[in-house]
């Protein structure tokens, strides 16, 4: 079979994959905390036809995908005015836990709410992790209520604030306030190893090289927490549309290679039959 046919078909497969990635990026241009992806290509094994004084005579056999990498650069921060909306300004991911399975994930989507039991949760009920006591010694599900109030004050919760260090301060109905807990962040030596599992969540934390245990914002290289803000998608729409056009043209060119190779094969068949 003609090597050009193999090369053209391999290119069609890889450019189709790149189109899939680009279309997913564009589809998530308004997804909170979404990180765009980019495809990298590599040539495949070349066929050696012979050697001469200049060296080996080789013809390539096509292209393959060497990797699909996520771009973890920060997206812009958008003010929402909602106290429970959080964004990481700098390095780090929020850690969330599925209360039914106990599995933990990380995310940069800080569109949280407070559920009827006072837990700070994601849109699908995952509980945000951090220190759960006023002494900031016990880690678990962050909860906003009067537990741990000075003098065992059981007044109703009037409101709360979340500082840039992640500390949750609860205001009680009698006017007193206290530190209820602290939201912690996690960072990784190789975030490319994180696995997207949907709902803006990532698994595979151990493979990505967790930097010890979750830490306090504004410390040890971790960013700050911005309450009332959300980190938007980092998709550059203009760049993605440019890539879309370039990939489309490359796909069309390689489809021409396939059809031309097919015509040549048909010509050879006709010669043999003649």
| Per-residue model confidence as pLDDT tens digits over 38-77 | 999 998 877 666 677 666 777 777 889 999 999 999 999 9
- Domain match, 157 and 225 both: yes
| Per-residue model confidence as pLDDT tens digits over 103-118 | 999 999 999 999 999 9
Q: Which residue range forms the structural domain that includes residue 197?
A: 77-231
Q: Is 32 exposed, middle or buried (0-12, 13-18, 19+ CB in 10 A)?
A: buried
- Domain match, 103 and 222 both: yes
- Domain match, 111 and 191 both: yes
Mean pLDDT (the chain, rounded): 91
Confidence of residue 232 (pLDDT cuts 50, 70, 90): very high
- Domain match, 106 and 29 both: no
Give the pLDDT confidence score for residue 268 in this predicted structure. Answer: 79
Q: Is 3 exposed, middle or buried (0-12, 13-18, 19+ CB in 10 A)?
A: middle
Confidence of residue 235 (pLDDT cuts 50, 70, 90): very high
Tell me if 110 sits within 8 A of 143, measured CB to CB: no
Instruction: Count the Cβ atoms, other than its own, within 10 Å of residue 120.
Output: 27
209: Cα within 13 Å, side-chain hemisphere: 6
| Per-residue model confidence as pLDDT tens digits over 148-162 | 888 777 778 899 999
Give the pLDDT confidence score for residue 143 in this predicted structure. Answer: 96
- Domain match, 211 and 250 both: no
| CA 54/CA 62 separation, integer angstroms | 23
- Domain match, 82 and 63 both: no
- Domain match, 185 and 218 both: yes
- Domain match, 217 and 90 both: yes
- Domain match, 92 and 56 both: no
Number of domains in the chain: 2
Beta bridge partner(s), residue 58: 48
- Domain match, 175 and 255 both: no
- Domain match, 84 and 149 both: yes
Give the pLDDT confidence score for residue 1 in this predicted structure. Answer: 54
| Global confidence as pTM | 0.86
- Domain match, 240 and 203 both: no
């Amino acid at each position: 079979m003609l090597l050009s046919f193999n090369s053209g078909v391999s290119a069609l497969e890889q450019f189709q994959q790149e189109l899939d990635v680009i279309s997913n990026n564009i589809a998530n241009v308004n997804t909170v905390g979404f990180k765009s992806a980019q495809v990298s290509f590599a040539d495949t094994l070349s066929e050696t036809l012979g050697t001469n004084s200049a060296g080996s005579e080789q013809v390539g056999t096509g292209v393959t995908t060497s990797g699909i990498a996520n771009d973890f650069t920060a997206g812009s921060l958008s003010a929402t005015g909602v106290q429970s909306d959080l964004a990481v300004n700098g390095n780090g991911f929020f850690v969330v836990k599925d209360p039914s399975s106990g599995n933990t994930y990380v995310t940069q989507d800080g569109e949280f709410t407070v559920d009827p039991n006072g837990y700070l949760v994601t849109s699908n009920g995952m509980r945000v992790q951090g220190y759960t006591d006023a002494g900031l010694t016990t880690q678990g599900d962050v909860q906003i209520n009067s537990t741990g109030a000075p003098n065992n004050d059981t007044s109703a919760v009037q409101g709360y604030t979340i500082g840039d260090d992640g500390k949750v301060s609860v205001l009680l109905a009698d006017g007193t306030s206290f530190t209820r807990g602290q939201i912690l962040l996690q960072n990784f030596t190789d975030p490319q190893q994180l696995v997207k599992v949907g709902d803006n969540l990532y698994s595979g934390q151990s493979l990505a090289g967790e930097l010890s245990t979750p830490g306090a914002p504004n410390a040890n290289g971790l960013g700050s927490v911005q309450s009332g803000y959300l980190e938007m998608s980092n998709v550059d729409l203009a760049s993605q549309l440019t890539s879309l056009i370039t990939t489309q043209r490359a796909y069309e060119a390689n489809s021409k290679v396939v059809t031309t190779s097919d015509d040549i094969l048909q010509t050879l068949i006709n010669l043999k039959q003649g």
